[in-house]
Amino acid sequence: MIEDKETDELNEEVPLENSEEEIEDILMEEGSLDGDESEVNELAEEKSDEEQSDGQEETDETTETPVGEITEGSEENSVGNTETISDSLSMQTATTEKDTEEVKEDKPEAFKLTAPENLDEIMSGICMKRGRKLIYRPNEAIFELSTTVLGTDKSNEEKIKIKNILDAEIKQGVKLGYLDKFDGLKTSELKEEYENDVVYEFAEQEFKRTGLFYDGKKVKVYVFDWDMKACHHVGYVSDESAEQLIPYLMDKEKYSFDVSGIITGGKFKKFIKDEESGKITIEKGNDGKLGIELDVTVLNRKD
């Protein structure tokens, strides 16, 4: 009885190793259709290799920069490049503005009339109309002279270009209404009056007032501003004319002087009529000879 009991206990013990049939069942459960134990081991090794490979890929994927970060970085680079371009354009604009300012600084200022330093001396010795008007009959004149002022194409005693003085006086005269371009005539009127002829822009019109000054050597000519507050040296009379004028200028208190400064030369229009068609064409020009013609009349003092 005792032996049977021991046998039954032995039969009830769990075997340490599976039987061949159980191994086959296990293989079937693992998904293998017909593999032995060595194949199982091979499959296990392959699975281990795959897991390692997957782990490595996961590691590689983890170390890669996310797409979002790359895009953001690109945007930052794009913004940086835009800012660089913008800065470059700003610098270029600033440079251009600076160059423009330098050009403006280099541009000479417009000429301005300024009274001579010795104005008081000139005013005390100049010979001109003493009043607003000098009324006289032609037979009252004791001396008359018409002459061209010399040196209007040069600089005066103050080293100022006389042309600049004449231009400035003319512009001021037009602005104040004392002078009119082409005597205020319209083009149609000029065509009728100056057919096949030349008409100057301001020729035959007069400056506000002109005076003569004898300095012991030459007779200087001065033109006054339109407000009569200052005058400017604009040339000389010829030696021959000066010789005739000097006796009167030296004894100026005895005489009255009617001195007119008449504009000559400068810009002009030429009206040319075609003989066949009768059509008139206009040519514009500038002879570059803007100057002054003097008309001088000396009287026994009456003003």
Task: Tell me the per-residue pLDDT of 179-188, one tens digit each, with 9 for 90 and over.
Answer: 999 999 999 9
Determine the average pLDDT of the residues in 170-191: 94
Phi, psi of 101 (to 5 degrees): -65, -40
CB 152 within 8 A of CB 166: yes
Is pLDDT of 191 > 80?
A: yes
**Global pTM?**
0.65
Average pLDDT value over all residues in the chain = 79
**Domain residue spans of the chain:** 2-63, 119-300
Mean pLDDT of all residues in 198-226: 96
- Average pLDDT, stretch 50-63? 50
In angstroms, rounded to a whole number, what is the distance separating the alpha carbons of residues 66 and 49? 27
pLDDT at 25: 53
Q: Is the model more confident about 303 or about 90? A: 303
Amino acid identity of residue 267, one-letter, is K
* Rounded mean pLDDT, 285-297: 96
Q: What is the pLDDT of residue 290?
A: 96
User: Per-residue pLDDT for 74 more than 60?
Assistant: no
Query: Burial of 228 by CB count in 10 Å (0-12 exposed, 13-18 middle, 19+ buried)?
Result: exposed
Residue 267 confidence (pLDDT) = 96
Give yes or no for a contact between 116 and 158, defined as CB atoms under 8 angstroms apart: yes
Q: What is the pLDDT of residue 37?
A: 55
Which residue has tokens 């134990």?
37
What does the alpha-carbon distance between residue 172 and residue 166 come to, in Å, rounded to a whole number?
10
Q: Greater confidence, 118 or 82?
A: 118
pLDDT band for 303, please (50, 70, 90 cuts): confident
| Rounded average pLDDT over 101-126 | 82
> Per-residue pLDDT for 99 more than 80?
no
Q: Are strands 219-224 and 210-214 parallel, antiparallel or unpaired?
A: antiparallel
Is residue 132 over pLDDT 90?
no
CB neighbour class for 174 (10 Å; exposed up to 12, middle 13-18, buried from 19): middle
Q: Report in angstroms the alpha-carbon separations of 76 from 84, 88, 208.
A: 12, 18, 73
Residue 88, token pair as written in the block: 């470059």
| Of 180, 191, 173, residue with least CA distance to 227 | 173
Residue 176's pLDDT band, with cuts at 50, 70 and 90, is very high
CA gap 86, 75 in Å, rounded? 16
pLDDT for 131 equals: 79
Decide if pLDDT at 56 tops 90. Answer: no
105 burial type by CB count under 10 A (0-12 exposed, 13-18 middle, 19+ buried): exposed
